Amino acid sequence: MMNLFEQSHANNEERSIRNPNFRSAAGVTFILAGAALFIDRYLQTGWLSYLVLPCVGLFLYLYGIRMHHKGLILVGGLLGGIGVGSAVAFIPTMQPQSRLTQVGLISGYLGIGWLLVVATIAASNHRQSVRGGGQVENVPYWALVPSGILLALGCSLLYSPMRWTDFVLFLSLGVGLPLLIWGLSARLFGLVIPGCLLLGIGPGIHIAWSNPGDGGGLSETGVMLVFFALGWLFITICARWFNHKNIWWPLIPGGIIAVVGTGLYIGGNPENAVVFIGNTGSIALMIFGLYLLLMRKGIHH
């Protein structure tokens, strides 16, 4: 039954490309794109050529939405992201931009293009499901991973002082959050676990090692381990969201890591032990409060 549905959907996509209206609109779009490139060779505007790629991407994206064609939505979103990023990065401005800034802009807008593709297909599938009363094709949640990586790279190059801890922070968030969303949306608990751990260890490394002290690394290692332990605790929270069951095993490694991390921090910086324990305890209480809310709502399959 599913094979018949997939074959029917593939045939519909193939017919949408062969549609005379698509060919006509595509022909006009490429003629205008070529004319813009030809005219800009003589006018030397410095910006007209950079608008060609976003316009082509926009056409493919909008037509893909109209015809429910996932391939056209993907190509249009990516071309639009690259085109807008290139236009913002290379169009002459009053203040020249460095190469790293240009790479960051292109990377960030391409990441937004990937994200737009996932959001558009998910919204389109939801509308089809509501109208047809059944389930439609799967949403490509895997595209959230390249989107997160590209956005993380862009944010690192644009909004950080280029420290290695900043790259670790943005990359862990850029990979961990997509894995978590992908796992929760597609019911793949194997993706939820690394997502939670990355969301814990990345901020821990950033907070611990951005401004290291003179304690020989013990305090910094302790802070990093405590945040890593919070990632294990977050697995238990997400498990409650996932299948309405209590999964306690992540608390065993999480508890051991938290005890070791607290001990290392106190050993390296005993003067701030009370403040440290109070702050981490506050975070743990907030996570536990979220867990209680999920229990009250009774989230299940």
**pLDDT for 95-104, tens place per residue?**
667 888 999 9
Q: Where are the domains of the chain?
A: 1-159, 174-301
* Secondary structure class of 46 (helix, strand, coil): coil
Distinct helix (H) and strand (E) counts, the chain: 11, 0
The dihedral of CA 186, 189, 191, 195: what is its sign? positive
pLDDT for residue 1: 39
Confidence of residue 20 (pLDDT cuts 50, 70, 90): low
Cα–Cα distance for residue pair 111/90, rounded to 1 Å = 18
What is the average per-residue pLDDT within 69-81? 88
Decide if 278 contacts 221 (C-beta within 8 A). Answer: no
CA angle, residues 133, 135, 137, in degrees to nearest 5:
140
Decide if 232 contacts 196 (C-beta within 8 A). Answer: yes
89 Rama sector, left if φ>0, alpha if ψ -120 to 50, beta otherwise:
alpha
pLDDT for residue 127: 73
Q: Alpha-carbon Rg of the chain, whole angstroms? A: 24
Mean predicted lDDT score pLDDT of the chain: 79
Cα–Cα distance for residue pair 177/253, rounded to 1 Å = 21
* Secondary structure class of 12 (helix, strand, coil): helix
Q: Higher model confidence: residue 46 or residue 221? A: 221
Structure tokens at 71: 């391939």
Decide if 196 contacts 235 (C-beta within 8 A). Answer: yes
**pLDDT for 182-241, tens place per residue?**
998 888 888 999 999 999 999 999 988 887 665 567 788 888 988 998 899 888 888 877
At a CB cut-off of 8 Å and minimum separation 6, what does 300 contact?
A: 243, 244
Alpha carbon of residue 123 to chain centroid: 17
pTM comes to 0.78
Residue 175: other Cβ atoms inside 10 A: 20
